[in-house]
Structure 1
Amino acid sequence: MSHAGMVGSAGALGQALLAHLRGDALVRGVFGDVPRVLDEVGGAKPLYPYMVIARHEVVPAHGCEVQIEDHVIDLHIMTRWAGRNGAREAMGDVLSVLENADMSLEGHKLVWCYVAFSDVLSLRDGQTFKGVVRLKLRTTPLQ
């Protein structure tokens, strides 16, 4: 498969993940009616809390006549609300939305998606907490 095919699966998966998260009422309850669920953070940081796709790695894992890409996506949940417990609560809501994620990808099929890791970290300023959720996903192109 060409490099362009891998970029296509990453783009399709990123769009599907953002749409899935932004479309959920639980996520909107945490991150606002126009959810602050972003694919990147530009110069000025958004209002807290917000979530961003911090990393998206794609590794080809092709088999016999099967084209497969394995994805690792890190979500960062940034909050200054209710300390570590507030960050855990926000992360718990995100995890529940991702638990049985049924996402439709343009030109690709999502084979599986699971949470590989989650944690809450306190940042140096003492008031900001970062929830980290690592997803592992597998896609294959539609034939």
Structure 2
Amino acid sequence: DQAPEDPIFPYLSYGEIKSENISADGMVLFAHTMSLHVWSRYAGRAEVLQIMDAVATVLDKSRLTLSGSQLVSAHVLFADTFRAQDGHTRHGLIRFHAITQD
């Protein structure tokens, strides 16, 4: 979603979310991919990397509790940092993948 007009840095936002039915052998399975964005105005990459590491630690191979589904697997697919278009803000991107069973 969109960040507020004047956000307080650092902050996290979520981007694209995809879910796909991958059911097989009578099991109802879904594959989910989600992009998380980290935004920082700290000089350098340190703050973005620290936040990304904390997020990845929670999400990667975690045992998240879900309502109505069971988590089969979870892991970080991709993580990268770069300077945002404004030339001042650091942008971190984490792509997370999970498989759930209903």
TM-score between both structures, scaled by the size of structure 2: 0.88
Q: Which has the higher contact order (CA 8 A, sep 6+)?
A: 2
Change (3 A) 1:90 1:55: same
Residues 82-138 of structure 1, C-alpha deviations (whole Å, 9 max, x = no match): 322322222122222223422111100111000110000111211101110111100
**8 Å contact kept, 2:36–2:94:** yes
Q: Report how many residues are paired.
A: 102
Alignment of 1:38-49 (within 5 A): 40-41=1-2, 43-49=4-10
Residues in 1 aligned to 2:12 and 2:75: alpha-carbon distance in whole angstroms: 18
Residues in 2 aligned to 1:129 and 1:54: alpha-carbon distance in whole angstroms: 16
One-letter code of the match for 1:64? D
**8 Å contact kept, 2:81–2:93:** yes
Match of 1:69 in 2: 30
TM-score between both structures, scaled by the size of structure 1: 0.65
- Does 2:50 match 1:89? yes
**8 Å contact kept, 1:83–1:127:** no
Change (3 A) 1:45 1:66: farther
- Does 2:65 match 1:104? yes
Alignment of 1:12-27 (within 5 A): none
Residues 21-80 of structure 1, C-alpha deviations (whole Å, 9 max, x = no match): xxxxxxxxxxxxxxxxxxx33553531111112111001101121111000011000111
User: Structure 1 runs of 4+ off > 3 angstroms?
Assistant: none
Residues in 1 aligned to 2:54 and 2:45: alpha-carbon distance in whole angstroms: 14
Unaligned runs of 5+ in 2: none
Identity among equivalent positions (%) equals 26
Change (3 A) 1:102 1:45: farther
Residues in 2 aligned to 1:135 and 1:110: alpha-carbon distance in whole angstroms: 13
